[in-house]
Every structure is written in structure tokens, then in C-alpha cells.
Structure 1
Amino acid sequence: MAIWRGYKEVKDAGGWAALVFAGMGLYRFCKYRIGLDKDAMQSLRKLRARFEVAADTLHPNWRQLLSIIGEPSDLVYHGHPHDWVILESGDDPLPLRNTYLQWDPSFSFEHIEESIVDKDVWGCEDPRWIPPPNAAACNFLRPTCEQCGEQQSDDPNENNCHCFPSLYGNGKRQPCPVQVFRTSNGRNNGLIALVPFERGHAIGEFTGLITAHLSNTDVMASLSPSAPSTTYQIYQGRLGNYTRFVNHSCKANAQFQRFAWLDTQRIVLVSRGIAAGEEITVQYGEAYWGGLDKDCLCEEACCRYRRNGR
């Protein structure tokens, strides 16, 4: 009976998703009453909405199991996992669009895995293309990694580069264990890690619209490898991925790093060591803060951009 009582406590606190996706280890927790105290159940209640957003958007058929026991089987959260903004209080998540309407009444956002080149600016060219070092290298059909020197391929059977295996060379990418959440200190949305990310682990590629000549808006800028005097921009205002929601911190736990994959320059978000439940942050840098008349809200003791507090 103790086991079934434990299952019920988990379901009542964390919802059916917490029970369905718990795995075999839950049996031991319930049998020996490990960690099923009042504080743990309260913490689980705050995670309930996170579980349900992930379950509904990543496994949209999972609720059909509930119809067997007479429970409602209709999805609660539709669309992409990052179309929903989690609240740390455990209250119902907010639609992503609703969190931007006060600044942009026509806000919309498309989630993409690969960047899209703005043909109106670049035509058929990709400014991220990395030319071969010499004419002889043109004869090689298979690109090699600049860091490890190994052959790169999207085919896992042919790829030998394992610099960032969660992103490149291992077949279809798995969903990254992160969620968009509502910050509590006026920074709007942020990105939270659901699992630990070891130092050097790739969290995601910075994707968006590859364009140029934008001003007075947030973009990632980089020099074109094929034309060093030319700058291209990655704009995430209307399309991109979860890296769009990474906030600045003067004591950042991640960084953006250039990486060449299949002769194309990529910008990768790389962990400096991040614990589960921690907000993922980067340093935006002097170029970003230099032209802004506003304070940094990172609240770190080492903050360098808290102008009004100086």
C-alpha cells in the first residue's frame, strides 16, 4: 500500500505527467518513502506546469493514456515547447506572444533549427561560408574540423568530429533540456537549464535570419569568413530558437563561440558549467552596453553596467 500511496502523492503534486514520465526509479522512492516529505511535494507542485508543457508539446499523444482511466485526454499546451513561458511560482504558463505585446502588438516568433539567409541582402551567397585555404583543398569533398582536424559529416556513420556531438554529426538533434521562464526582476523572459550542463557542453546554435545593415536593434554581428571586411548579422526578432532568450550577466555561466561546421561558420552557446535549475546567461559585452542608456539588472556584485548605482 505504501507504494500506491506514494504514486498518488506524486500524481497529486506533480500531475499525471510527473507519474507517466517518471521512469522505473519512482518505484523505489515510493516503496522506501525517500524524499516524499512536505517540502519535496511543495517543490514538485511548482514544477507541475513545466512537466505538462514539456509532455504536451514533445509528446502530444501522451494524454490518450489517461482516457483509459477516465481522465481528460485533451491537450492543454499546444505548439512548440518554447511557445510557453514558465513561471517560477508554479502558476499557469503564459503564451510567449503575450509576454511581448506591451512592446510589440504584432509580435510573432517562428522556431527554427537552422538559420535562414536573407536573399534580399545576400542573394544566393551565404556570408558564413568558409573558403578553402588553398586551391588544392578544393579537391577534398569532405570538410574537416578546424579544431580537432577530423572529418565532418551530417551522416553519423561518416562523421569523426565530436567537438559538439549534441548539435552536429550525430543525426537528428534531440530537444534541448531548457525552458523559457519569466524572470522576477524586470528582465522579461530568460532561459533556465533543466539538467546540468558541464563546462564545454554545447547548449545550442544561435540561429536566426542571416542579414545585414540593421541598426537600433539587437543582433549578433560577425565578420564574414569569405570577405573579412564584410559584417553579417543574425537577427532573432521574428525567428530563431531558444538562444534568443538568454539574458546578460556580468558573471555569466555560458558564452558564445564560433565553430565551423561543414565549411560554414556557426555561433554556438557553450556552457561554462551550469547546474540544473540555474538561469543560463552570457556577457553581452561592451559593444552592446556602450550605446545604451539603461542599467544592467544582473544584480551581481561584480556588475559593470549598473550606471545609476554608481
Structure 2
Amino acid sequence: MATNTDTTESKASSEHAHNTRYKGVSEKKRKPSLDWDDLEERGKRRRGKEGEKWRRRNSVTHLVASIYADVEAAVETQRRIAGQAPILTQEERLDYESSEDMRLDHLREFRLAQMFSSPKTRNRLRAAPVPRGRRFDSVRAGRDVVTRAVVDKWRLLNTIIDTLGWVVIAICLHSANFRTRFLEATDAVDFTERLEKLRLHKESIEFFAKSRQFDWLEVTTEQEEQDVLLRDLNCLLTGTAIPKEQEINEDEAEDARLNADTKIAGFPNDGAGLDHPHEWKLSADGLTAVRLTFLPGGGRATLQLQSNIEHSVVLPGHRWPDRKKWILKEEPRYRAEFDESCEACNDPGAGEGKKWRAGCQCSVNNLKTRLAADGAYFGDRVELRNVHPILGTGVRALQRLPAHSLLAEYTGEIYPLYKTQQRGKYKNSTYLYCQTRRLSNGEIENAMNIDPSIHGNWTRFINHSCRPKTDFVLYSCGEKIVTCVKVRKRAIEFGEEITIDYGKSYFENQGLACRCREDACRLWNADKMKDNRTTLRQARQEGFAPDWADD
């Protein structure tokens, strides 16, 4: 037994010696084991930093985009209060009054901050005597607010005034997001980024409000009381007698309220000529509003104003060619029995024994409403702006437009397409679009012109790109087939330009070169070479791209 024990102990000792001898060598040759917990923590920190960057960027963008949406909603509220739309419900009116109270509180803070921001001014106000009596209780309370105010916050408010100006502040105060997520924000980095973003968009915000005839200085009873309070505080500050009458006269009220005059030149002072916001565009520098015009071709053509229409207009007095090929011997927009059913209500068409027409009376607005229920339609919150010296007017999105969403119908004057008529009614094919229709034999051919040169909507100003963000799409709607603009498979983000593909023939027929400046552009010299296969990127690399390609 002793021998066996010795043998066992010897074996154990030998194994221990072997492990000890080769332990260090073995560990040096092996790769160190991964600390998965540490890697996970490092990944969380990295993702956290990236997520924080995206959060800040999206937060800033969302703040600015929400201001446009809130101003649009405020314009609609004013229309409803004025009786130009369905009146407000009791709940909507309470929400509006609550929002107005918050807006006036912030407005009062801004005005106090500007008037009494220096310590010397506050000390003088603190020492000034206030007459006795209930009439001056508000003045006494206002003085206490001024003398106890937090100096840092007033400095912040004065920074906003200096950066944005009174007009933009007065507009933005109608936005709940501006009041809660900007003025009440505590993150200094977020505040700086948001203020800079607002500075870049201040002319655009002002143009948006002014072109929609938004009354951002609508006077309320509370605001008149604020005018009285600020007047009396200023009297204390300057040592002049405080008026005993409660009312404030009209001239003083105008001086006390914010300046209502726009800084953007070009708008008429009386509001005449502002029938629709999409009849105006903003200059590239944001300092001038321009009424949109069109110059028809021909020797004695005169400049004409462009007007906005919601629905296309069929010009009378035209003879439609090839009518024998059609199921319906009328204008080619009417859908026939082999066309799709109405996409607004799914109605297949008229009943048996009736002329083939849609049984429904749906319009494009019904189509928009149906698609909006599915989250696929967004409104016309866009901005027309001079985007480039050569490209001219372009369309910028003032909201996020999701992929595959319907934007608007391409409207205009509709008349027949003749083989000898290449440049349309106005001898200028800048906006001309040819809509197709299906014939009785199943074939598809060009059937009519949609010409928005004089009468159309904002879709006529969408610029071309060889990497377009939207497409022309035919929809079956009510009795007709209509051409609409639809977002492609990638969403259009706030601030991006909306673009579409004009097609190669557009540039070839007019002898023009594409100026979209996309790397993949193959039409950059279409005015000289119809069958070009060289992209603009390749032309840059090989050194023969035109000078404007790098602008």
C-alpha cells in the first residue's frame, strides 16, 4: 500500500512539475483570451457617442422642421377663427388659448430682457419710487420681476434677439417646440447647435410666414396689458410721470409691439398679390422675395405672371387627333374599361349599360386622403428658392417626405399633342409634359400636353437630376388618369432639394447640356454628343470636364 501511495504521489508531483514547467511557455504562445464584457462596454461607449451625434443632429433638424409645421397650423387656426374654415371646437379653443398664454409669457421675458439687461438699468429701476394704489400693483410686481431676474438667462435671451431678430422670434414663438425644446433647454451644446441652425433658416422662416400672410403679431388683451406694464416700467426708468389712464394709445402700442415690417424685400406692403405662397420664390441669399414669371417664346412675347392652380384645366376649342382609337371619344384623361380601378376608393367603374366612366367622383384630394391614412402622403410644405444661377428656381422640402409618398398632381393647361407642335402653346417647352394613354388595342401612346407655363403648381419648378428623388407616376383617380409626383425608394429629408428625371430626349431635343452635377451624370454634354457614355466623374478624372462641373 505504501508503494502504491508513493507511486500516486510521484505521479501527481510529476504532473505538477510538468504543468509548472510549461505553463509560462504555453500562455505566451496562445492568443490572449477575449474579454467579452470589456468589448461590449467599449462597443456601448462607441455606439453611445455615435448615437448622441445622430440624436443631436436629428433633434436640431426636427426643431427647425417643427417650426414650419407649427406656423402652418397657426395660419390654419387664424383662418378658422376668422370664419374662413370650420370653426374651432371647444377643446381646440382651450388648447389655443393655453398656447397663447405661454407665447405671451415668453414674449414678456424677451422684452424685459432687452429693456433691462444691464445692471445699471436694474439698479435705477430698483431705486425708483412707485406711486401707491391698486392701479400700480402690476408695475410694482413687474419691477420686482426685473430686479430679481436671473442675469444669465437674460443674456441668453439677448443672444437670441441679436442672432434671429424680433420678426423671426415673433414667428417662432407660435411654435410649441420652439418654446419648450429651445427656450427651456438646459443643454448648452444643444442650445448652440439649435441657435446656429435657426440662424441659417431665419430668412426662410420669415419668407414662409410672410408668403402665407401669417399675422404673427395678432394683438390680444394680455398683450395690450403687457404694453401698458412695459410703458410704465420705462417711465420709472426714465424718471417721467406714469400716465394714470389704464389704456395705451395706438401710437404707443405700435412702438411697444414688435416690428411687423419684414426684412425681406419684394413683398407688397398691403398684402395684395399674395394669393398663393407658391407664386413666390426666395432669392439665393434669402434677402428678396420674387414674384414668379414666365416669358413665352416668340418675337413680341411679354413677361407673364405665373399663377397656382389646384387642378388641371382642359383648354376648349381644340380638336383631339386619333379619337377613333379611343374607347371614349373625349379628352384622353378619361379612363377606359381596361384601365385600373379608382385608386382613391377602389371603384372599378360604371355599371352595366352605362357609358364607361368611374362610378365614383373622387378627386386627387381624395387620393391624397386615402394614401395619408396609410402614411404615404404628405402635404405641400415646400419652399421655392433660387438654387443656382443656371438652374434657377428649385423646390426645397420643409418636412421629411417618406419613401414612396405621393406629393402632388402635376397640374397645368391640357391641350392636344400635335406632331408639328414641338414647343407647346407658349412656344417654350421648359415645363411641358406629355401624358400617355392606353388605346383600345392595348398599346400606349403619347396623347396630350400638360403645360404649366402660366397656370400650374409648385411641381413645375422641380429641377432635373440624373439621380432623381421623385418620379412621374400615373394614377387612376375618379373618372380620369392623372400624372402625379411620387417619392422614390429613399426618403427626402428636411432641407433637401426635390429633383426628378426629365429624360434624355428633353436635353437632346433642345440641344441642352445637363447641369445636375451628379457624378453619375451621362448627359453633361448632351448638347454636343447624343450617345455619350462617359459619366461626369470620369470626365473629371480624365481632365476634360467643363468648368461649371466643379461649381
Q: TM-score, normalised by structure 1?
A: 0.78
Q: What does residue 231 of structure 1 align with?
A: 447
Does structure 1 residue 139 correspond to structure 2 residue 336?
no
Greater CA drift, 15-24 or 72-81: 72-81
Counterpart amino acid of residue 113 in structure 1: E
Deviation at 1:152, TM superposition (A): 7.5
Does structure 1 residue 211 correspond to structure 2 residue 415?
yes
Counterpart amino acid of residue 331 in structure 2: D
Question: Relative contact order (alpha carbons < 8 A, sep ≥ 6): 1 or 2 greater?
Answer: 1
Counterpart amino acid of residue 197 in structure 1: L
Deviations 1:91-129 (A, max 9, x none): 2333323xx579975121110000001112269943201
> 2:500 & 2:476 partners in 1: Cα distance?
21
> 2:281 & 2:497 partners in 1: Cα distance?
14
> 1:304 & 1:208 partners in 2: Cα distance?
30
Q: What does residue 505 of structure 2 align with?
A: 287
Pick the aligned partner of 1:84 from 264, 271, 280. 280
- For the Cα contact (< 8 Å) 2:333–2:482, is it kept in 1? yes
Q: What does residue 107 of structure 1 align with?
A: 304
Q: What does residue 193 of structure 1 align with?
A: 397
Please state which structure has a larger fraction of its residues in helix. Answer: 2
Q: What does residue 148 of structure 1 align with?
A: none
SS in 2 for 1:223: strand
Q: What does residue 435 of structure 2 align with?
A: 222
Greater CA drift, 54-63 or 279-288: 54-63
Counterpart amino acid of residue 49 in structure 1: E
> 1:229 & 1:47 partners in 2: Cα distance?
45
The 1:6/1:30 distance shift into structure 2, 3 A limit, reads farther
Q: What does residue 212 of structure 2 align with?
A: 58
Q: What does residue 178 of structure 1 align with?
A: 382
> 2:200 & 2:368 partners in 1: Cα distance?
40
The 1:32/1:137 distance shift into structure 2, 3 A limit, reads closer
> 2:337 & 2:201 partners in 1: Cα distance?
49
Q: Which runs of 5+ in 1 are unaligned?
A: 145-150
Counterpart amino acid of residue 485 in structure 2: L
> 1:155 & 1:269 partners in 2: Cα distance?
12
Counterpart amino acid of residue 270 in structure 1: K
> 2:509 & 2:295 partners in 1: Cα distance?
25
Counterpart amino acid of residue 257 in structure 2: G
> 1:161 & 1:48 partners in 2: Cα distance?
31
- For the Cα contact (< 8 Å) 1:63–1:73, is it kept in 2? yes
Deviations 1:212-243 (A, max 9, x none): 23422231102234676661110011010000
- For the Cα contact (< 8 Å) 1:129–1:263, is it kept in 2? yes
Identity of aligned residues (%): 22
Deviations 1:15-49 (A, max 9, x none): 13542332145324222344332x64344233222
Greater CA drift, 290-299 or 62-71: 62-71
The 1:12/1:95 distance shift into structure 2, 3 A limit, reads farther
SS in 1 for 2:191: coil
> 1:196 & 1:162 partners in 2: Cα distance?
18
Q: What does residue 147 of structure 1 align with?
A: none
Q: TM-score, normalised by structure 2?
A: 0.46
Counterpart amino acid of residue 222 in structure 1: Q
SS in 2 for 1:52: helix
Counterpart amino acid of residue 20 in structure 1: L
Aligned CA RMSD, in angstroms, stands at: 3.7
Deviation at 1:202, TM superposition (A): 1.1
Q: What does residue 496 of structure 2 align with?
A: 278
Q: What does residue 146 of structure 2 align with?
A: none
Deviations 1:43-101 (A, max 9, x none): 4233222222222233443333498552344677441212322234332333323xx57
Does structure 1 residue 128 correspond to structure 2 residue 333?
yes
Pick the aligned partner of 1:242 from 447, 458, 481. 458
Q: What does residue 521 of structure 2 align with?
A: 303
Counterpart amino acid of residue 503 in structure 2: G
SS in 2 for 1:48: helix
- For the Cα contact (< 8 Å) 1:185–1:297, is it kept in 2? no
The 1:178/1:11 distance shift into structure 2, 3 A limit, reads farther
> 1:221 & 1:3 partners in 2: Cα distance?
59
> 1:245 & 1:286 partners in 2: Cα distance?
18
Q: Which runs of 5+ in 2 are unaligned?
A: 1-149, 225-255, 321-328, 340-347, 424-428, 529-544, 547-551
SS in 2 for 1:16: helix
Counterpart amino acid of residue 132 in structure 1: E
Deviations 1:139-180 (A, max 9, x none): 179948xxxxxx874599xx79966338xxx9xxx8511011
> 2:368 & 2:295 partners in 1: Cα distance?
43
Q: What does residue 251 of structure 1 align with?
A: 467
